[in-house]
Structure formats: structure tokens, C-alpha cells
Amino acid sequence: MEHVNNVKLVNLELVYVHGPFIAQAEYLIANVNSDVRYNFNSYYSQVSYFLTGEYKKYKNSYAGFDRLIPTNNFGTEENKGIGAWEVALRYSNSDYNSKDVFGGEQSDITLGLNWYLNPATKITFNNIFVDVKKGGQASIFQVRLQVDF
């Protein structure tokens, strides 16, 4: 794609939080204008629930959610806490095909379990089922340790 005149992005985000339950969705469309107009889009929706009763505070669309503080941090001597446990389900789709651009189309479903040991440490366990249109399918199991200072 040569001679791009401009790119227009439209992004819509919705978030609903009710105690330990969170529903979230986002849709993004990109219009690329050159000699030809191209349209690309991507979206996701997800729900999650804190089994241990915690809840996340939503700050704004630029900052997202505030840091989660577990009711009982994992492993502390005074309360033998288990941290915070969250289960999640997510569906996403991205379509980067438009006219003579064949960037691909993919959808996936993610089942997740998030363990917040304390406000700065999280371990995520994800099982992701991927479907690449005209490219095949995959099943991925992922574990990630995140330390945030």
C-alpha cells in the first residue's frame, strides 16, 4: 500500500463492573485512504469474575483498570492469604483483509485463570483456541508471570 493520504481510526470501548463481575468489549475500525480506500477492523468481548470477591476500579479509557489489591495477599504470615483468583472468558476477531490487501482474518476464544498474589505480582494461565481463516487452527496453553513495580 503506497501513497497513504490519511488513516482514520474509530474506537469504541464499553466496560461494566458490578462487584466481582466485569464485562468488557471493544471495537476498532481503521480506514486507510490512498488511491483506494481500505477498511480493517478488530473487536473483542470478555467477561470475568473474582472467585475471592475482589473487584477492579475502572479509571478511564486511557488508563484502564486501577491496580488490584487482593483482600489477603498470598503467603503472608499473619493471615495465610490465598491472593485473589479471577476466571475469565474472551472472544476476539481481527480482519485485516480489504480489497487487494490480504492481511488475514483470525478469531480466538480464551479461557483464563488469573492469580493475583499481591498488588505487584500476577500469574496468568490461558488456554487459547485459535481459528485462522484459510490458515488452520491451533490450541495454545500459556502461563505468564507478571511483576509490576
Cell of 114: 488469573
| pLDDT value of residue 78 | 67
Cell of 12: 469504541
- Between CA 126 and CA 137 the distance in angstroms is 16
Please identify which residue in the block is written with the cell numbers 471493544: 26
Average pLDDT over residues 65-76: 88
| pLDDT value of residue 60 | 76
Taking residue 84's Cβ as centre, other Cβ atoms within 10 Å add up to: 27
Please identify which residue in the block is written with the cell numbers 480506500: 37
Residues 86-110: tens digit of each pLDDT:
999 999 999 998 888 888 899 999 9
Residues 118-149: tens digit of each pLDDT:
999 999 999 999 999 988 999 999 999 999 88
| pLDDT value of residue 149 | 81
pTM, entire model: 0.86
